[in-house]
Each structure stands twice: as C-alpha cells, then as structure tokens.
C-alpha cells in the first residue's frame, strides 16, 4: 500500500476520532443538564461541526491534535454540581480510549481467527492507525494546559487565585504548547505514556480474547 493511500485513509479516521471526542463532551454535559451544546448544534456526529483544521492537521502529521471545543456552561448543570465539569472534561479522552480498546480487541480477534487478513494488507493498518490516533488524541487532551481537557480538571482543584492566573496565561501557555508540539519536543514527552497505554490495552485485550476463543 502506497504512503499516499495510507495518508488518505487516515483522514476519515481522524474525523471519526475528533467527532466522537467532542460529541462525548456535549452528551455528558447534556445529561448533566446543560443544553448549550445542543442549542448550538454541537450535540452532533457531523464531523464538520467539530473539526478544527489546525488540530486535524496536527493529528495527520503528529498523531495527536484537537477539535473545536464544545461549548459548556457549568452553571446550567442540574446534576453533580460544579464537579460536573470534571466528568464533561474527561468524557472526550475516555471516549477515545474506549474506541481504541475496541479497535485493539478487533485486531487481536483477527490475529487469532484470521491472521492472513491482518498480515496481508490494509485491514491491520486501518485498525492499528485508528487505535493509535484515538490514544494520541486522548493523551494530548489530558495535558493540563488550556484549553485542553486536562486543564479543566486541574483548574477545578486549584485555589481561586491560581485558577485566575492560569486563565489569564492561557494564550501564552497554548502558544508554548503548539511550539512544543510542532518542534517534536512534546512528542518525546508523551510518547512513553502513549506506548504504556497501547501496550496495556493490547495485553488486556489479548487476555480477554484468550478467555473467549
């Protein structure tokens, strides 16, 4: 399979990862009582409503990136109170982890039941790429720098003054994050976490599939 074809196949996979990620944020917010995402048309599985082209570009070339943040108003939560922002923030990365794990289970099942399908061409490449993109998206978005999901979890636990300073510095912090991303520095930092998660999910999937097959 040519490199160009591999890259072209990656594009719809990226859109799926980003769309599910943002939909998960909006869905959990909606379940907690905040209808902002629904009102703004973001409670949708239409990729065009969620894609941030710079973030998609980063995923295409670097393996991790972001989408347009789904609008959330914590003051409209009717369940979980202020803690709801934690569940909403974690919903996106966790949805990607679930997608990655399902893909890995499918891969392991095929390894045991139809190895020629996995070893012979594009099926294995699509599944592994999909799993890698989802894990990359999850790990990247858990970095505690605004506007990424990890920052919202962190700010919930910060004292008020520290939270204000972080919010005031978010543009500078995000620019530093982008510089680290495109220079390759960030990749070297998060790659160990990425490999740990992938390897862990492979081990768990292999254990579960062996129990069934």
Report the 10 Å Cβ neighbour count for 12. Answer: 12
Q: How many CA atoms lie within 13 A of 29 on its CB side?
A: 27
SS3 content of the chain, % helix, strand, coil (to 5): 80, 0, 20
Task: Give dist(CA 33, CA 10) in Å, integer.
Answer: 35
Task: Give dist(CA 83, CA 155) in Å, integer.
Answer: 11
The one-character DSSP state at 51 is -
Rounded to an integer, what is the distance from CA 192 to the centroid of its chain?
Answer: 17
Report the 10 Å Cβ neighbour count for 159. Answer: 8
22 an active-site residue?
Answer: yes
Task: Give dist(CA 25, CA 69) in Å, integer.
Answer: 9
Task: Give dist(CA 14, CA 170) in Å, integer.
Answer: 26
Per the residue annotation, which of 22, 39, 167, 203 is the catalytic one? 22
3-state secondary structure of 213: coil
Report the 10 Å Cβ neighbour count for 207. Answer: 10
* Structure-token pair, residue 93: 């990365």
Question: Catalytic residue positions?
Answer: 22
């Amino acid at each position: 399979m040519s490199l160009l074809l591999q890259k072209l196949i990656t594009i719809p996979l990226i859109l799926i990862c980003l769309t599910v990620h943002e939909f998960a944020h909006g869905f959990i917010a909606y379940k907690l009582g905040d209808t902002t995402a629904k009102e703004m048309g973001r409670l949708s599985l239409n990729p065009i409503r969620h894609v941030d082209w710079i973030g998609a570009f980063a995923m295409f070339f670097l393996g991790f990136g972001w989408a347009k943040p789904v609008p959330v108003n914590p003051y409209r939560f009717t369940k979980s109170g202020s803690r709801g922002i934690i569940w909403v923030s974690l919903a996106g990365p966790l949805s990607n982890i679930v997608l990655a794990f399902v893909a890995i289970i499918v891969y392991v099942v095929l390894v045991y039941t139809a190895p020629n399908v996995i070893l012979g061409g594009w099926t294995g490449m699509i599944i592994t790429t999909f799993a890698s993109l989802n894990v990359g998206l999850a790990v990247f978005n858990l970095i505690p720098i605004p506007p990424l999901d990890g920052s919202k979890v962190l700010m919930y636990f910060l004292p008020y003054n520290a939270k204000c300073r972080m919010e005031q510095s978010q543009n500078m912090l995000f620019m530093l994050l982008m510089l680290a991303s495109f220079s390759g520095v960030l990749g070297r930092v998060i790659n160990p976490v990425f490999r740990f998660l992938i390897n862990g999910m492979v081990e768990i999937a292999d254990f579960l599939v062996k129990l069934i097959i």
